[in-house]
Amino acid sequence: MSQPTISIVTPCLNRAATIGAAIESVLAQGHASFEHVVMDGGSTDGTLEVLARYPHLVVRSEPDRNLYEAYNKGLRLARGAILGLLNSDDLYAPGAFAAAEAVLADPALEMVIGAAAFFTEAAGVQRPQRRLAGVAAVGLTEANVVHNVTVMNAAFYRRGLVERVGLFDERFPISADKDWWMRLVLAAPRQAVLDRDFYRYRSHAGSLTFGGDQRDRLSRHLLHLAALRLAECPAGSPARAAYGRWHAWALAYRCMLLTSGGRLGEALGAAWAGLATDPAWPCRAVTRLPAHWRGRSARRGEMQA
């Protein structure tokens, strides 16, 4: 079997309504050398029947603990020199593969990031919402890890870069994408950012990214992540400094969220506990404010008509 140029990995669980469109968006790229690995978590809603319509897929169906374990399994199976990550309810934009491959023809580059468009769908009609483009909105930066939606799906990665950074950390079941993006930031890969759409995120009630108000749950997970990574980093290392800044911001956000929700006692308890981890966390959080406000409009993206 010949080695594919591009491997796409898709985790999937009970997505019969959307997985077909995701697969079709890969086929529509018209690429001559690709593989599409689908890691199904044991779907019972007809998803496997949809997958069976596409004999070109590499399908594994077995239970997994979370989205990121499924991604890791798929990345271990993938054989391509270039890797992409496609959610089962999202789409690749037309021409994404060709554009990414053209950029990565330069052997000095390790990854390429494109723009990310967001849409809703009702009665078969897609309605655009917003678009994130450019370094300030989607670039591989610490600011985008800490303050923004991490659009890891709107990027393509050389296999060597993924091997260097490592797979997703499955200790973080809803925030491993942000942890992985921070590890990419710290690895400082040679990259390009294009102002053309690579990826289309579907916003819907069942989405793991956009479904419901998950701020409380996510803030707890992000604070736990940042504190754990901070404790693991060697003193004086660039990683420890970066995770220290992230921990301070995550703690400030958590305290703000608790206070605004009328949970002042919890907010004070979290703030006090944070001092044991990093006595300087309030100062670190305050120093991030100017950059946070300067980048706010870019992170919101362009509204689409």
| Whether 87 contacts 153, CB under 8 Å | yes
Kind plus residue range of the DSSP H or E element containing 23: helix 19-27
Query: Boundaries of CATH 3.90.550.10 in the chain?
Result: 6-202
- Cα 34 from Cα 48, distance rounded (Å): 21
- B/e letters for 141-159, b = 16+ CB within 10 Å, e = fewer, are bbbbbbbbbbbbbbbbbbb
pLDDT at residue 162, as a whole number: 97
Q: Give phi and psi for 287, each to the nearest 5.
A: -70, -20
CATH 3.90.550.10 fits 6-202, yes or no: yes
pLDDT digits (tens, 9 = 90+) for 166-217: 999 999 999 999 999 999 999 999 999 999 999 999 985 554 544 445 889 9
Greater confidence, 67 or 204?
Answer: 67
Lowest-confidence region among 138-142, 267-271, 286-290? 286-290
- What the block records as the tokens of 292 is 């946070």
Give the burial class of 293: count Cβ atoms within 10 A of its Cβ; 0-12 exposed, 13-18 middle, 19 or more buried: exposed
Bridge pairing between strands 191-202 and 91-92: antiparallel
Q: Which of 305, 302, 298, 304 is nearest to 138 (CA)?
A: 298
pLDDT of residue 291: 76
3 state DSSP class of 30: coil
Taking residues 32-49, report their average pLDDT: 96
| Per-residue confidence (pLDDT) for residue 261, from 0 to 100 | 93
Tens-place pLDDT, residues 30-39: 999 999 999 9
pLDDT tens-place string over residues 74-96: 999 999 999 999 999 999 999 99
Average pLDDT score over the chain: 91
Please report which confidence band the pLDDT of residue 302 belongs to, taking 50, 70 and 90 as the band edges.
low
pLDDT of residue 204: 56
| Residue whose entry in the numeric block shows the structure tokens 């997985």 | 19
210/228 Cα distance (integer angstroms): 25
The pLDDT value given to residue 228? 95
